[in-house]
Amino acid sequence: MDKESVYFRNGKLIAKSGDIRVYTMDNELFLEDGRMNLVASDTKKSDYIWQIGNKPIGNCLVVGLGLGIVVNYLLSLNKVNNLTIIEENKDIINVVNKLNKLEGLFEIICTDYFTYLYKSNTKYDFIFIDCYTKIDETTLPYIADIVIASKLNLKADGILLGWFDNRTSEKLVDPFYSLFNTV
């Protein structure tokens, strides 16, 4: 077991790049950053599928790679023609590549989310935002900023969704969803 981990004392380190580590424990994957924060886990796969459903079509964008769970799900959908992933952390991209978990045609761009969203002229049919690890008073303004920037890249009839953390405080549920339901 990797002595540096806070969470996975009984897990096994299977991929590492820089300060990003991926562990397996009880047949599940967990991605941890250098500050010992749990960044992603494949235990949330059913949540992602339920939240996204069959909404993705055409030209799609994912903001945040994580373990690639959303990417693989989108690539499995017949109505998705093109997929672009924006990930700021090259070490996350490196560990996901080491795991060989992504299958299909897609493009990963390693850049700051805001830089891409404000400078890109590409319009997407579907955008999924998944670049935060929780929804709280600290992250909600950041999520709001990402939503505003994402809307610049969304087609008029496009769909914009963000990952919803089921552990979100009840008082923040409506404010979170209202970010995506406004014009």
Q: Domain containing 173: what range?
A: 44-181
79 and 147: one domain?
yes
Residue 182: what pLDDT?
Answer: 52
pLDDT at 56: 96
Q: What is the pLDDT of residues 121-136, one digit of tens each?
A: 999 999 999 998 889 9
Asked, for residue 3, whether it belongs to a domain, the answer is no
Cα–Cα distance, 68 to 62 (Å, whole number) = 10
- Quick one: pLDDT at residue 173? 94
Q: Is the pTM of this model over 0.85?
A: yes
Q: How many domains does the chain have?
A: 2
Do 166 and 119 fall into the same domain?
Answer: yes
150 and 83, same domain (yes or no)? yes
Q: pLDDT by residue (tens digit) across 4-16?
A: 555 566 778 889 9
Q: What is the pLDDT of residue 174?
A: 94
* 118: pLDDT strictly greater than 80: yes
Say whether both 150 and 61 belong to one domain. Answer: yes
Length of the chain: 183
Q: Which range is least confidently modeled, 3-7, 111-115, 119-123?
A: 3-7
Write the pLDDT tens digit of every residue in 135-175.
999 999 999 999 999 999 999 999 999 999 888 999 999 99
Enter the tokens of residue 71.
């990417």
Residue 172, C-beta contacts closer than 8 angstroms, at least 6 positions apart: 135, 136, 137, 140
pLDDT tens-digit readout, 17-47:
998 888 888 888 888 887 666 777 777 788 8
**Do 114 and 59 share a structural domain?**
yes
Give Rg (Cα) of the chain: 16
CATH number of domain containing 63: 3.40.50.150
**Does 2 reside within a domain?**
no
